């Protein structure tokens, strides 16, 4: 009915991505039909419930991080203008979605407010196209549960338990010691991560667009990885024309492998 192309991602995940493509008016028509459908579901769920106030319709948009700046505007001016003129609540996530360069933008309100809000967001996105390559967010299938038995870690796949040596090692370390060192102690006292064992260095290259998720807000993640692994981690400054950053990890072999494991996990 809307004349838009609508694609829905694979279904074996806890969440799916609906991609709507077409001229702006076709997109609004599709969005308004989706918002009304959501409202219908809210109304239906309220018929037999004791809830008196009606929850708002909520949509989560997936927007390339390079366009979020224009959406927020200088000092938050644009997003404030969108909130005030449409009456919808708009929130831009601080962190990127896992393994992507996209952020979630959550809109909630009445179907009418949401449609007006999407209109304004589309205008901003048309005015300032994404910069550089976008790594799209792909929802991961519900992750395999992990079971710890007899000091070993196993992931469950179908009917089988598959031993997981990396996780076993982390689990054993975690069981022996709290993950953070008390203040004043310099190296975490992980057994096997012995400060006296020979130190060496290991270099990694990490794509610029993923370095943010490793550093975390104001360095919170990288500090956590430093503390948990006991390794020294240096991230080189971005060099012009290079799409990668050099990361140097120094410590005992066990410190280094734990730091690498934690960086890969991020």
Inside any domain, residue 98: yes
Inside any domain, residue 91: yes
- This prediction has a pTM of 0.54
Each residue's pLDDT tens digit, 157-183:
555 666 666 666 665 665 555 444 444
31 and 118 assigned to the same domain: yes
Indicate whether 64 pLDDT > 90: yes
Give the strand pairing for 89-92 and 57-64.
unpaired
Nearest to 258 by CA among 162, 185, 167: 167
- Looking at 99, 127, 155, which one is the last position of a domain? 127
Predicted confidence at residue 186, as pLDDT, reads 45
Indicate whether 243 pLDDT > 90: no
13 and 121 assigned to the same domain: yes
Inside any domain, residue 183: no
Inside any domain, residue 105: yes
Inside any domain, residue 150: no
- Looking at 127, 155, 175, which one is the last position of a domain? 127
Instruction: Provide the CATH number for the domain around residue 122.
Output: 3.30.1370.10
Inside any domain, residue 175: no
Q: What angle do CA 204, 210, 212 make, to 5 degrees?
A: 105
123 and 205 assigned to the same domain: no
Indicate whether 192 pLDDT > 70: no
Least confident of 57-61, 141-145, 207-211, 248-252: 141-145
Q: How confident is the model at residue 197 (pLDDT cuts 50, 70, 90)?
A: low
122 and 11 assigned to the same domain: yes
Indicate whether 195 pLDDT > 50: no
119 and 223 assigned to the same domain: no
116 and 208 assigned to the same domain: no
121 and 22 assigned to the same domain: yes
Nearest to 96 by CA among 203, 221, 244: 221
Q: How far apart are CA 246 and CA 238, in angstroms?
A: 8
CA atoms within 13 A on the CB side of 19: 9
15 and 116 assigned to the same domain: yes
- Host domain of residue 61: 5-127
- Looking at 70, 97, 127, which one is the last position of a domain? 127
Inside any domain, residue 153: no
Inside any domain, residue 177: no
Nearest to 103 by CA among 60, 74, 58, 56: 60
Q: Taking every pair of C-alpha atoms in the chain, what is the biggest distance, in angstroms? A: 70
How many domains, in total, are found in the chain? 2
25 and 108 assigned to the same domain: yes
23 and 118 assigned to the same domain: yes
22 and 102 assigned to the same domain: yes
């Amino acid at each position: 009915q809307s004349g838009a192309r609508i694609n829905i991602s694979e279904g074996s995940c806890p969440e799916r991505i609906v991609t709507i493509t077409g001229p702006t008016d076709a997109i609004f028509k599709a969005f308004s039909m989706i918002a009304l459908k959501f409202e219908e579901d809210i109304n239906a769920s309220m018929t037999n419930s004791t809830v008196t106030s009606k929850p708002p319709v909520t949509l989560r948009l997936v927007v390339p991080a390079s366009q979020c700046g224009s959406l927020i505007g200088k000092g938050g001016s644009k997003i404030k203008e969108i909130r005030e003129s449409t009456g919808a609540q708009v929130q831009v996530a601080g962190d990127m979605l896992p393994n992507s360069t996209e952020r979630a933008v959550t809109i909630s309100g009445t179907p009418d407010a949401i449609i007006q809000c999407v209109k304004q967001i589309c205008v901003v996105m048309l005015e300032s196209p994404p910069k550089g390559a976008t790594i799209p967010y792909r929802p991961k299938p519900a992750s395999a549960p992990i079971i710890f038995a007899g000091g070993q870690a196993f992931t469950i796949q179908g009917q089988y338990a598959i031993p997981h040596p990396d996780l076993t090692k982390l689990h054993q370390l975690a069981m022996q010691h709290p993950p953070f060192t008390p203040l004043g102690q310099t190296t975490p006292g992980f057994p096997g991560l012995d400060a006296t064992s020979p130190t060496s260095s290991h270099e990694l290259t990490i794509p610029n667009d993923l370095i943010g998720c490793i550093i975390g807000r104001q360095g919170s993640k990288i500090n956590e990885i430093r503390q948990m692994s006991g390794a020294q981690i240096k991230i080189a400054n971005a060099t012009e024309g290079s799409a990668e950053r050099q990361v140097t990890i120094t410590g005992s072999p066990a410190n280094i492998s734990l730091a690498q494991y934690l960086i890969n996990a991020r």
